[in-house]
Chains A and B, each alone.
Chain A
Amino acid sequence: MFYDVGEKRVGKVLKTARRYLTWIQNSVLEGDLSPATFEALKIDVRKILDLQYDSVLFYAWRTERYMSREVVGVERGCTDFMV
């Protein structure tokens, strides 16, 4: 999930998204959601947005097999389930 929203709403969007996904770097979160949880996230985010102004992008993969991910530079956040 990538978001670009008005300054006033940045904190709110981040707080909501963190309930579902893991913070990766500024305005970017990642995670593994079931279809229903994904719907719930979108509904919760929509309630915060100014739909005339803000923009939130979701890239979704059905399976991790077809996704590759590479970090150049510093890895800021991680999604490891072992903390």
Chain B
Amino acid sequence: MFSELVKVNGYLVQAFSICRRQVWLLARGVTAEQSNESLALGRLVDQNSYARERHQVGFGDNKFDFVQGADGELVVCEVKKSSRAERSARLQLAHYLYDLQKAGIEARGVLMFPTEKKRVEVELTDALKAELDCVYAEIESLAQRNVPPPAEHCKYCGKCAYAEYCWG
């Protein structure tokens, strides 16, 4: 039995709202195929947008794409290739803000979609915090399961880097 504790980071939170099976796999270090086209394109957008501002910041188990500060206010920015999974990106960013708040740091969040020239502000509300608490608990119990949730087809499967793993 695999009993190591899972490190709940932004990536897992984001994955959780898209696919539970992916969370189980990630908790075991079963990472996605790096040569996957959609993943590689995402990486390119990530590495080549906001070249001046960007500096990955590690915080706990998380990695922020970059942070900005103005008038004593901290802004955490998260870059995404497309807004297709905006809801899960929002949850990921809220998780960062929540982790910061737990350490006594107040911050705002901004989601950035450079290819769509779009920005979305994220604020950490009580509702989001409650949702996140549920997500953490579910991720932990999911990761402890001996057997992964079976593959279920959803709209993200087509471009998912695990598609060949799940459906091959």
Contacts and interface: CB of A to CB of B under 8 A. Distances in A.
B113 to A, nearest CB: 17
Q: Number of contact residues on A: which range applies?
A: under 10
Contacts of A37: 40
B44 A35 contact: no
Interface residues of B, number: 5
Q: Which of A34, A36, A39 has the most CB of B within 10 A?
A: A36
B48 interface: yes
Interface string A15-58: 00000000000000000001111011001000000000000000
Nearest to A37: B40
A43 B44 CA distance: 9
Contacts of B48: 43
A43 B48 CA distance: 8
A34 B37 CA distance: 8
Interface in B24-81: 37, 40-41, 44, 48
A43 B37 CA distance: 16
Contacts of B37: 34-36
B49 to A, nearest CB: 10
Interface of B: 37, 40-41, 44, 48
Interface of A: 34-37, 39-40, 43
12 contacts: A34-B40, A35-B37, A36-B37, A36-B40, A36-B41, A36-B44, A37-B40, A39-B41, A39-B44, A40-B44, A43-B44, A43-B48
Given A36-B41, A39-B44, 10 more contacts: A34-B37, A34-B40, A35-B37, A35-B41, A36-B37, A36-B40, A36-B44, A37-B40, A40-B40, A43-B48
